[in-house]
C-alpha cells in the first residue's frame, strides 16, 4: 500500500468554497482513480487543508495525482497559494478497537 499526503494552502477566507469544490468536483474524480483505497480531507489551521490518500501502488498514486492536479487547478487555481506533498510505502497499519 502507498500513501500520499498533501498540505494545500489557500488564500484567506476560502474554507467553505474549498469544501464545496471538494465535495462537488474533486471527490467524484477521485472515485474514478484505479487503486485508490481511501481518501481523507480535513481543514487544518487557517486556510490550509490536509488530504491523505491510500493507494494499492506508487504507480497508481502517481496516476491519481496526475488526475487530481488539473481538477484542483481548474476549480481552485485562483485560490491556491501552494501545496506540499509527501508520499511513501506504508510500513505499518493498525486499526484501533471500537468501543463496545
Residue 91 pLDDT? 93
Q: Is 94 within the bounds of a domain?
A: no
CATH number at residue 47: 3.30.70.100
Cell of 47: 486556510
pLDDT at 37: 94
Work out the number of other CB atoms within 10 angstroms of the CB of residue 21.
Answer: 18
Average pLDDT on 29-57 reads 93
Pairing assessment for the beta strands 80-89 and 36-43 based on DSSP bridges: unpaired
Residue numbers of the domain that contains 20: 2-89
Residue carrying C-alpha cell 469544501: 19
For 66, the grid coordinates are 496526475
Summarised one tens digit per residue, pLDDT across range 3-35 is 999 999 999 999 999 999 999 999 998 888 999
Q: What is the pLDDT of residues 74-100, one digit of tens each?
A: 998 899 999 999 999 999 988 888 776
Domain-located, residue 47:
yes
Amino acid at each position: 500500500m502507498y500513501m500520499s499526503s498533501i498540505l494545500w494552502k489557500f488564500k484567506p477566507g476560502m474554507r467553505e468554497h474549498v469544501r464545496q469544490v471538494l465535495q462537488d468536483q474533486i471527490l467524484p474524480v477521485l472515485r474514478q482513480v484505479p487503486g485508490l483505497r481511501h481518501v481523507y480531507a480535513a481543514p487544518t489551521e487557517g486556510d490550509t487543508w490536509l488530504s491523505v490518500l491510500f493507494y494499492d501502488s506508487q504507480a497508481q498514486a502517481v496516476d491519481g495525482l496526475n488526475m487530481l492536479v488539473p481538477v484542483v487547478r481548474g476549480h481552485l487555481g485562483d485560490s491556491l497559494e501552494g501545496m506540499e506533498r509527501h508520499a511513501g510505502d506504508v510500513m505499518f497499519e493498525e486499526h484501533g478497537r471500537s468501543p463496545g
